Amino acid sequence: MRLLLAIDVGNTNIVLGVFDLDQVQNTLPLHSWRVATARERTADEYGLTFQELLRHRGMELSMVSEMVVASVVPPLHPVLETCCQRYFNINPLWIEPGVETGLKIIIDNPNELGADRIVNCVGAIEMFGAPVIVVDMGTATTFDVVNEKSEYLGGLILPGIKIAAEALFQRAARLPRVEIAKPEKLVGRSTVQAMQSGLYYGCIGQIDGILERLTQQFPKAVVAAAGGLAKTVGKESKFIKHVVPDLTLSGLHSIWSRNRRKNNGN
């Protein structure tokens, strides 16, 4: 088995997924994992972590023949570059300017657009076609809009639910840190329950409020959700039709495939 290892480096988590290169139609990873993003970790620490995750699923480093990486954490770029070369003997494809994505970006400064947002849109177009609106629920909650010509028009960025929860804990002396989860009741009967309900339903209300405006402007767009909290929050939305937690990994697979075909002259 020949594997493609896709790595999405976010501010909170690094998400990894493996694709079987012999299954050309497989747009979802065989397996995926989330590990905490830690800027202080070394290339060796990341390499050994990746090795153990693969072995847990009966795979070895030697089975990985290709790698593709998207990152919004620049300090980890050289660390992961060293990790890929030392443990996999591979120079990965990085999602950066000059890489063929199939997405035309028509914003004021295309170079400032995060690699994860580009990859999400590519994955959504591959799965659902265009036009499409992608909501990514990670450290930040982002909205990205692609028109029927597969042109990236721009988006919105707001603090994610975990940032909101941490702000309450940090700024209000008597409020505790709480788990992000769907509450049993709308009206909380304790401080923790009240915080969980407010954070959860507040996030949904915020997302749906923005999506209501976006879908009025782009009525034909399919709305898809990605990110670590997509399963927790996305299914409660009135407007989100597809919840794909591994959408970013699928986008990485699509971009890698496109660039392989380009380099092979196909």
What is the tens place of the pLDDT at every residue in 2-25?
Answer: 999 999 999 989 999 999 998 867
Q: CA-to-CA distance for 68 and 85, rounded, in angstroms?
A: 13
Does 178 have pLDDT greater than 60? Answer: yes
**Claim to verify: residue 109 and residue 237 sit in the same structural domain:** yes
116 catalytic per annotation: yes
What's the pLDDT at 222?
97
Confidence of residue 104 (pLDDT cuts 50, 70, 90): very high
Give the domain range for residue 208: 104-249
> Where does a domain end: 42, 59, 94?
94
**Claim to verify: residue 152 and residue 204 sit in the same structural domain:** yes
Q: CA-to-CA distance for 34 and 47, rounded, in angstroms?
A: 14
CATH value at residue 230: 3.30.420.40
Asked whether the beta carbons of 41 and 50 are under 8 A apart, the reply is no
> Where does a domain end: 59, 94, 129?
94
**Is-above-0.95 flag for pTM?**
no
pLDDT tens string 196-212: 999 999 999 999 999 99
Structure tokens at 17: 């997924």
Specify if 28 maps to a domain.
Answer: yes
**Claim to verify: residue 121 and residue 33 sit in the same structural domain:** no
Asked whether the beta carbons of 98 and 116 are under 8 A apart, the reply is no
**Claim to verify: residue 69 and residue 118 sit in the same structural domain:** no
* Active-site residue, from 116, 136, 144, 246: 116
**Claim to verify: residue 118 and residue 223 sit in the same structural domain:** yes
Q: CA-to-CA distance for 1 and 37, rounded, in angstroms?
A: 29
Specify if 262 maps to a domain.
Answer: no
Q: What percent of the chain has pLDDT over 90?
A: 81
Structurally, how many domains does the chain consist of?
2
For residues 216-230, average pLDDT: 93
For residues 168-175, average pLDDT: 88
**Claim to verify: residue 89 and residue 174 sit in the same structural domain:** no
> Where does a domain end: 32, 61, 94?
94
For residues 128-146, average pLDDT: 95
Confidence of residue 266 (pLDDT cuts 50, 70, 90): low
**Claim to verify: residue 24 and residue 61 sit in the same structural domain:** yes
What's the pLDDT at 86?
97
